[in-house]
Structures are given as structure tokens and as C-alpha cells.
Structure 1
Amino acid sequence: MIISIVVAADEKNGIGKNNQLPWYLPADLKHFREFTIGYPVIMGRKTFDSVEKPLAKRRNIVITTQNLEIEGCEVVHSINEAIEKCKGEERIAIVGGATIFEQSMDLVDVIHFTRIHNIFEADTFFPAINPDKWIQADIERHEPDEKNMYPYSFITYRRA
């Protein structure tokens, strides 16, 4: 099973502000769908709250310390429990938020990272990618266009 993180961050690793994305970048949303449709997605409760409903065509697993039932989702209490529930899957995607990313960095094989080449006001950040543990395997740069107002890069990191 391939365990991946799918994340977008600005130049300072900002990933959110007030539990929302600080930007709108359609190319990144498409990229996110490409890596997650048909596969389980693991997210924290705050990330689930920000998307407001289960992500379509994906098995949604929500990590929370609370005893909740969320329609259309499987609720677990740790990243390890979430991964255990996915045994037998070809791949899974961890999609946020910051606490879940921090807890999973030593467990994942690949990071699908969208770097937005701008700085936004953020209150939530992605952990630093340690170059001793991760190799940049691929990068695809894009300039702004009529739909995407910021320059961005799709970067794939693989465990060193």
C-alpha cells in the first residue's frame, strides 16, 4: 500500500487561514482530485469541517479525539487506526490538516505537493520537508493563466 500526502502550501508552508484555503487555484483542485478519486482519504476533523461533507467517490476517514458519528465517513481516533482501516487498499491519501500531517510524516511514502509561489496570510502550516528524509523526484512548473492567478509547481517527493 502506498501512503501519500496530498497538500498545497504557499512559499512559507502556509496551508490555511481560519480553517479555509487562503487561495483559489483550480489547477490544484484538479490535481487533488486526480490523486484522491477512487482511494481512501484520511483527514482530521477540522479539515472535514472545512470541506463540509464527505468527498465524493472516495472513502472518507476522519480522525478526531471526540466520539462522533459523521454520515458518509468512518471515524477513528488516531493516524495509525486510520491507516490500519485501509489495509488491502492500493493507496491512500492523507489530506490534512496540519496536526495530521505532522503525525504522518514518518509514515508516508510520497508527498504530492503543490507549491503556490506567493505568500498568504496563514495560521496553519505544513511541516518542513527534511532533505535528509525526502528526495524531490519530480517538479512541474506553471505560470499564472486565465484560470489560475498565481504561479505554482506540482512537486513529488519520495522517501530517501
Structure 2
Amino acid sequence: MNHNTKRRVANDHLAIIVAMDRNHLIGKDNRLPWHIPEDLAYFRKVTLDHNVIIGKNTWLSLGKPLDRRTNIVLSRDPDFHPRGCIVCHDIRDVLSIVNEQTSFIIGGASVFQQFVPLVGKLYLTRIEAVFEGDVYFPDLDLNQWTLLSYETQTARSGFTLAFETYIRN
């Protein structure tokens, strides 16, 4: 047994996927502050055929379940039962349902805040611009993470996107 191997506390099967601007802005009026098809395509490619974990307000902004994904909505409202979704009332419920299945936390801010200590992987899309909005990604110490991949792309809109993937140290 190698005693130098660090034991990871985080769940390797849990990941956050999020797009943010230079100031870590992620939302405005319960919507994305931008429309960048290249980022939406990346999000779809990464999350397709996996679980997505989403807060109630973010789910309501979408209006329907994301196709070809198991939609797990985190809500404290016992009367909330959207069609085509699994509703969980706390993180323990979510973790018991997803077990070891690859699952992506997709927002909003309070759900990200709850899951940051638990996830083993981050998929960050950084948009090299500043937008107006009212919701920001929680503070994140990237010293606790190792960059696995980095790719840039210029969107048709002219924005530069940086797709970054990290694993927890």
C-alpha cells in the first residue's frame, strides 16, 4: 500500500459545470446574462446521458426537464412535483439517488455553494467579458484544484471562451 497517496474526500463522480464572466457572474433575473451557443453546445455535450442536479428556481427558469438527462431538482418545497424530474429535499437525498453515477451540479448559486465541498471535478467556462447581473458563483480556492484541461475558443459573438476542467487535489 502506498502511504503517499492522498485520500480524496470529494466524490469523483460529482462535478460542477458552470459558465461565468470575469467577475464570476453567473446569472441575471434567474437567467443567464448572455446567449452563447458554443457554451450551450459544450454544456450539452458534457452533461448528456448523465444526471443533472439543479435548484428549484433554476429549474423553473428552464421550464422543462433537460432532455437525455436525469433531472434531479433540489427543493425544500414539499408540494413541488415537476413532471419528468426527481425531487430531493436535501443533499443526502441527492447523494443516495445518484450513488456513484456521474452527476453534474448545474445551478443555481445556493446549490453550487452547497456542493462545492463535495465535488471532485469542475468544468468552468470563463467568458472573457463583464456582464451585468445579480448572481455570482461562490468563492472558490483554485489552489485546492489541479487543472486537467484548458481550451479556448472565440464564439461567433466575438467573446473568447476558456473551457477549463479541474480535479480536486
Which string of whole-angstrom CA distances, capped at 9 and with x for unpartnered residues, describes residues 47-102 of structure 1? 1011110000110000011011111001111123112111142x111100100000
Is 1:8 aligned with 2:28? no
The answer to whether the 8 A contact 1:25-1:149 is kept is: no
The answer to whether the 8 A contact 2:19-2:124 is kept is: yes
TM-score normalised to the size of structure 2? 0.89
Is 1:84 aligned with 2:107? no
Equivalent runs, 1:1-160 vs 2, <5 Å: 2-67=13-78, 68-89=80-101, 91-144=102-155, 147-160=156-169
What is the percent sequence identity of the aligned residues?
36
User: CA offset at residue 41 of structure 1?
Assistant: 0.4
Distance in 1 between residues matched to 2:157 and 2:96, nearest whole Å: 37
Q: How has the CA–CA distance of structure 1 residues 79 and 148 changed in structure 2, closer, same or farther, with 3 Å as cutoff?
A: farther
Amino acid at match of 2:108: G
Q: Which runs of 5+ in 2 are unaligned?
A: 1-11
Q: How many residues align?
A: 157
State the secondary structure of the residue aligned to 2:119. coil
Q: How has the CA–CA distance of structure 1 residues 88 and 131 changed in structure 2, closer, same or farther, with 3 Å as cutoff?
A: closer
User: CA offset at residue 131 of structure 1?
Assistant: 2.5
User: CA offset at residue 132 of structure 1?
Assistant: 2.9
TM-score normalised to the size of structure 1? 0.93
State the secondary structure of the residue aligned to 2:38. helix
State the secondary structure of the residue aligned to 1:139. strand
Q: Which runs of 5+ in 1 are unaligned?
A: none
Across the aligned residues of Structure 1 and Structure 2, the Cα RMSD in angstroms comes to 1.2
